[in-house]
Structure 1
Amino acid sequence: MKQSKNQASQYDKIFKENIEAVIPSLMQNVLGITTVLREELPDDVQHTKERKPDVLKKVTDSLGNTFVLQIEFQVSNESEMVYRMAEYYVMLERKYKLPIEQFVLFLGSSKPKMSTNIESKHLKFDFAMIAFAELDFHIFLNSTKPEEVILSVLANFAQETPENALKQIILRLEETTEGDLSLKRYFKQLRILAQLRKLERILKLIVMDSIAKYIDEKKDVAFLIGQEKAQVKFVTNLLLESDFTVEKIAKIASVSVEFVKKVKGAITIDK
């Protein structure tokens, strides 16, 4: 899955903003690490290195083991990932003189295709990779933290349809968030992450009925809330499922051309 630089920066921004809130749950429920002590470590492992670790902490678990924990969030397959992780491993072990535990959390919708090990004459190395698409979305849905709830959209919906899963996620966000401004922020993050699963169109249709009052009227469908919902849905379906011109859709739906243009603008996927 190829991502534009703008998209990648949006995903990075979300995880940077939310990481401290979600890291305890990720460690416990995804990585299987029960911590009793956790200490932030500086991420300047090497000043000349272009990329820094996404998460770097000194951890003592419930068994008394102390180690350096590194977590990387990866949206797409990177052919050089195993070498990057090996570089991190050597630098971290050299600097901290502690055992190193490394995890790559793959956020893509397909199975990761990256190699996780090196085996040559003088070097054997491997790291753990976990695909979000294989995790039960209830792990995050049942959280009391909205930062975790939005991660549900990246997990496995199992027997749920995308529509039902998204409705549950939206409801849970409303239940766990205090204040309209915060809720608006998490809805925006949810829409961005939904792009990784190609669910943004479904989400926008659900938004029209359930959370339109919270959405930025310049970018989303909230400004359509005063319009007849049946007309909005009808025009939306024609725009998504046909090649009709705006003028023809306006005629079929018995609405103005300007109305069709507004709906079209609301459902256009951000590039």
Structure 2
Amino acid sequence: MGKQASQYDKIFKENIEAVIPNLMQNILGITAVTSEELPDDIQHTKERKPDVLKKISDNQGNIFILHLEFQLIDEPEMVYRMADYYIMLVRKYKMPVRQFVLFLGSSIPKMEVKHESETMHYKFSLIAFAQLDYHTFLQSNQPEEVLLAVLANFKGESPKTVLQQIILRVEETTTGDLALKRYFSQLRVLAQLRNLGETLRDLAMDSIAKFVNIEQDAAYMIGQEKTEERIVRNLLAKMSLTVEQIADIAGVSVKFVQEVQQKLSIRE
């Protein structure tokens, strides 16, 4: 997904250590007594880099490897990728492995979570943020975790109301203007995953104007949207791809591709 995906990846890499303890407790159902960082590269005949890899001792006396992957795209072959990780981790560490894919997209993923054949039975756990109650993240005392509320289920609340709560909670849990500026910038990026960039921009003038240059942000988003539309137009015109494939390649939503497609059909 190019530059857009790298922005999301950067946010999770910056915030992951602050988020992991409560994420394990509240979302994965793991109460860790100790947690040990493990090397994030697994190499045998090929190299893999898991998003999160830790050795966990829980309150039940279990010791295991925790492997997490954050996923934006509903990847049809994710099960093979996770199985690949599983075999390499078991081979390297010789202990049980628990794997979770945390899906950050707005839809409910349809990817297969298990593979069964005559000689193999494999399964990983899939958690869709779109099904999680946003209050779970909003109640945290870690601003990095509060930000994740924008990716969760709003439980019937309007986006404006939820964004107001997130902004307030980030202010309550953050010390220092520099940190607050960083979190508001991250919120802007994450809000785009739910097509809430414009709502956030309109809503947050008073709250974040001193931390984020709204005019530059708006100009950037407009320029980005024009670039994305040009890419989608070229793919529609020159490639025999499905709407979903084009959305994946261009790093935009299926709805965005459909809107561009409709514009082209009207002009024709």
Contact 2:41 2:48 in 1 (8 A): no
Q: Work out whether residues 154 and 197 of structure 1, in 8 Å CA contact, stay in contact via their aligned partners in 2.
A: yes
CA–CA distance in structure 1, aligned partners of residues 187 and 207 of structure 2: 14
Deviation at 1:46, TM superposition (A): 1.2
What's the CA shift string for 1:167-207, capped at 9, x where partnerless?
A: 00001111111111110100010011111111111000011
| Corresponding residue pairs, total | 225
SS across alignment from 1:77: coil
**1:14-50 per-position Cα deviation (integer Å, ceiling 9, x unaligned):** 0000000000011000000001011011112116645
Which amino acid in the other structure matches residue 12 of structure 1? D
Q: Does 1:116 align with 2:70?
A: no
Q: How does 1:78-227 map to 2 (within 5 A)?
A: 78-216=75-213, 219-220=216-217
Take 1:89 and 1:45, find their aligned partners in 2: how far apart are those partners?
10
Looking at structure 2, the residues matched to 266 and 11 of structure 1 have their Cα atoms a distance apart, in angstroms, of: 16
Which amino acid in the other structure matches residue 156 of structure 1?
A: N
Would the alpha carbon gap of residues 216 and 48 (structure 1) be closer, same or farther in structure 2, given more than 3 Å must change? Answer: farther
Counterpart position of 1:64: 61
Contact 1:149–1:173 (8 Å) recurs in 2: yes
Alignment-mate amino acid for residue 24 of structure 2:
M
Greater Rg, structure 1 or structure 2?
A: 1
Question: How far apart are the structure 2 equivalents of 1:51 and 1:43?
Answer: 8
Q: Summarize deviations over 1:136-191 as a string: whole Å, max 9, x none.
A: 11111111111001001000110211000000000111111111111010001001
State the one-letter code of the partner of 1:165: V
Inter-partner Cα distance in structure 2 for 1:208 and 1:266: 17
Give the whole-Å Cα distance in 2 for the aligned partners of 1:147 and 1:171. Answer: 14
Residues 150/104 of structure 1: CA separation in 2 closer, same or farther (3 Å cut): same
Q: Contact (CA 8 Å) 2:115, 2:123: kept in 1 or not?
A: yes
Residues in 2 aligned to 1:72 and 1:136: alpha-carbon distance in whole angstroms: 20
Q: Matched residues in 2 for 1:266 and 1:87: separation?
A: 39
CA 1:179–1:96 in 2, change beyond 3 Å: closer, same or farther? same
> Hey, what's the Cα distance between the residues in 2 that align with 1:196 and 1:53?
22
**Deviations 1:63-85, CA, capped at 9 Å, x for gaps:** 00000000000001112210010
**CA-to-partner distance for each residue in 1:209-245, whole Å, 9 max, x for gaps?**
3221211366236xxxxxxxxxxxxxxxxxxxxxxxx
Task: Rate the CA distance shift 1:49–1:171 in 2: closer, same or farther, 3 A.
Answer: farther
User: Among the aligned pairs, what percent are the same residue?
Assistant: 64
Large movers: runs of 4+ above 4 Å: none
Distance 2:144 2:163 in 1: 15
Gaps of 5+ in 1: 222-264
Residues 1:37 and 2:48 aligned together: no
After TM superposition, give the deviation of residue 89 of structure 1 in Å: 0.6
The amino acid that maps onto 2:97 is: I
| Alpha-carbon shift at residue 121 of structure 1 (Å) | 1.1
Q: Distance in 1 between matches of 2:116 and 2:31?
A: 31
How many Å apart are 1:267 and its aligned residue? 6.2
**Any idea what SS the aligned residue of 2:193 has?**
helix
Q: Are 1:268 and 2:222 an aligned pair? A: yes
Q: Which region of structure 1 is more displaced relative to structure 2, 104-113 or 209-218? A: 209-218
Tell me if 1:46 matches 2:38: no
* Aligned counterparts of 1:175 and 1:270: Cα–Cα separation in 2: 32
Cα gap change, 1:48 to 1:268, in 2 (>3 Å): farther
Unaligned runs of 5+ in 2: 226-268
Q: Give the drift of 1:208.
A: 1.6
